[in-house]
């Protein structure tokens, strides 16, 4: 961990700041302020200043933040000023969408290998990659030095896949299967479960 | 809002509890404890008890929680003991995966209509639905009384789509486009940006 005193919730907001700064670069904006960033993101300017202050002094009183400079600094902090090779396990419809998604590369990631258990899917060419059998998973991710993987299998197999990924050296897992994974403390897991997001909102709706 | 004194972060954990309880039902488990739930979810048992205490007294000293009862109570609290019709806007590869995803229905949702701008996609049959043009969006969601929608368009059009959804009566948006949406205060938005999740993890990795 780069700095154990920085709360993970702060780290979790940095990608959101990065995304907004990237958008500002596309808009040819040279300078911004914590106020403007906050307006765009629905986060208070005080929170943004406090979050960034964990990492240094990025803005100047009066002129605010240089957009490109702050963007590059956050990329560096998050270590996405390089490209992380990724494995995708589970090549159903979601896995295919992930394999073909063009939004990874500009933001620090590239899918480099695909795995599945289904003999009908193994051997298929998807996004320029050949789907490999699960039996090759551990060797292949070791060989390629892969630390980042996505699980897009059914929930029944997700834990088994996670175990194999961890054995092969993966330290960051994005899990699309709707199940909480058990992993060693040095392995990071993030979850994407669209239904959980939806359920969080229906609480507030009038039936 | 059902109870303005309950923090949204607590509401956000209820779907995770619900998912774990659902899994326990599948395992034919009758009773559980905050300790066991916490172990499965990597959340402290004290946190779970505190979260649930906002809504009532669900467990008994000694026997713990009746799994089915707690499951049904949380479904009721989140208002997912009914089925919410959903619109999906943007029927590219991700929108297709969402339209075909079979995990919604058991958890309170059903995709009932699909919209796109692309003449080559409009009119296609996907998961038993005909993709409709954006010009029909507002009328159609009003007619169907839809309050929940997903945006899976490119980021450039996501805000425009959100504006139309809100005009049509949508109050909960799950946004897959990597951009923060501006919406009125009574509209809820949740974001799914896989790259933001990945970037949050690479901070901790050794390059």
Domain with residues B84-196, CATH architecture = 3-Layer(aba) Sandwich (3.40)
With an 8 Å Cβ cutoff, is B9 touching chain A? no
Record: contact B148-A100, CB cut-off 8 A: no
Phi-psi region of B82 (alpha: psi -120 to 50; beta: other; left: phi over 0): beta
Which pLDDT score is estimated for B59?
81
Which pLDDT score is estimated for B4?
63
Record: contact A190-B198, CB cut-off 8 A: yes
- As a dihedral over the C-alpha atoms of residue A91, residue A94, residue A97, residue A98, rounded to 10 degrees, the angle is -80
Which pLDDT score is estimated for B108?
96
Record: contact A201-B148, CB cut-off 8 A: yes
With an 8 Å Cβ cutoff, is B11 touching chain A? yes
What angle is formed at CA A199 by the lines to CA A194 and CA A202, rounded to 5 degrees?
130
H or E segment and range at residue A67: helix A67-77
Measure in Å the smallest separation between the Cα of B135 and chain A Cα atoms.
25
Q: Classify the complex by whether its ipTM is higher than 0.90, answering yes or no.
A: yes
**Confidence at A45, pLDDT banded by 50, 70, 90:** very high
Does pLDDT of A2 surpass 60?
Answer: no
Record: contact B97-A100, CB cut-off 8 A: no
Mutation target for B interface from A95, A182, A201: give the one with most B CBs within 10 A.
Answer: A201
Which pLDDT score is estimated for B3?
63
CATH fold of B8-77: Arc Repressor Mutant, subunit A (1.10.10)
Q: What is the pLDDT of residues A52-89, one digit of tens each?
A: 999 988 887 778 999 999 999 999 999 999 999 999 99
Per-residue pLDDT of chain B in tens (207 residues, 90 and over written 9)? 456 689 999 999 999 999 999 999 999 999 999 999 999 998 999 999 999 999 988 887 778 999 999 999 999 999 999 999 999 999 998 999 999 988 898 899 999 999 999 999 999 999 999 999 999 999 999 999 999 999 999 989 999 999 999 999 999 999 999 899 999 999 999 999 999 999 999 999 987
Record: contact B194-A101, CB cut-off 8 A: yes
* Spatial CB neighbours of B169, under 8 Å, sequence gap ≥ 6: B141, B142, B145, B146, B147
Count of other CB atoms within 10 angstroms of residue A155: 17
Residues from chain B that touch A21, judged by Cβ atoms under 8 A, are: none
Encoding tokens for residue B201?
Answer: 């993890």
Q: What is the pLDDT of residues B1-25, one digit of tens each?
A: 456 689 999 999 999 999 999 999 9
Record: contact A195-B103, CB cut-off 8 A: yes
Helix (H/G/I), strand (E/B), else coil: B43:
coil
Mutation target for A interface from B166, B200, B206: give the one with most A CBs within 10 A.
Answer: B200
Give the nearest chain A residue to B37 (CA atoms).
Answer: A180
Domain ranges of chain B: 8-77, 84-196
* Spatial CB neighbours of B39, under 8 Å, sequence gap ≥ 6: none
Residues from chain A that touch B198, judged by Cβ atoms under 8 A, are: 84, 86, 108-109, 148, 172, 174, 190
Are B152 and B166 in contact, with CB atoms under 8 Å apart? no
With an 8 Å Cβ cutoff, is B192 touching chain A? yes
Are B80 and B19 in contact, with CB atoms under 8 Å apart? no
Which pLDDT score is estimated for B1?
44
């Amino acid at each position: 961990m780069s700095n154990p005193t920085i709360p993970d919730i702060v780290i979790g907001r940095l990608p959101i700041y990065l995304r907004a700064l990237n958008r500002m670069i596309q808009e040819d904006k040279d300078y911004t302020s914590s106020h403007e960033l906050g307006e765009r993101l629905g986060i208070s300017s005080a929170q943004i200043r406090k979050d960034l202050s964990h990492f240094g002094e990025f803005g100047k009183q009066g002129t605010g933040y240089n957009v490109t400079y702050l963007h590059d600094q956050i990329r560096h902090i998050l270590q996405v000023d390089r490209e992380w090779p990724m494995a995708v396990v589970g090549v159903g419809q979601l896995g295919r969408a992930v394999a073909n998604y063009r939004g990874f590369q500009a933001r620090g990631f590239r899918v480099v290998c695909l795995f599945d258990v289904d003999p009908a899917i193994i051997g298929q060419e998807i996004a320029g990659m050949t789907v490999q059998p699960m039996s090759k998973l551990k060797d292949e991710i070791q060989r390629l030095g892969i630390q980042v993987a996505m699980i897009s299998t059914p929930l029944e197999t997700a834990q088994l896949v996670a175990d194999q990924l961890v054995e092969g050296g993966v330290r960051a897992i994005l899990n699309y299967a709707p199940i909480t994974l058990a992993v060693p403390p040095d392995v990071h897991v993030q979850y994407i479960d669209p239904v959980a997001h939806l359920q969080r909102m229906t609480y507030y709706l009038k039936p």
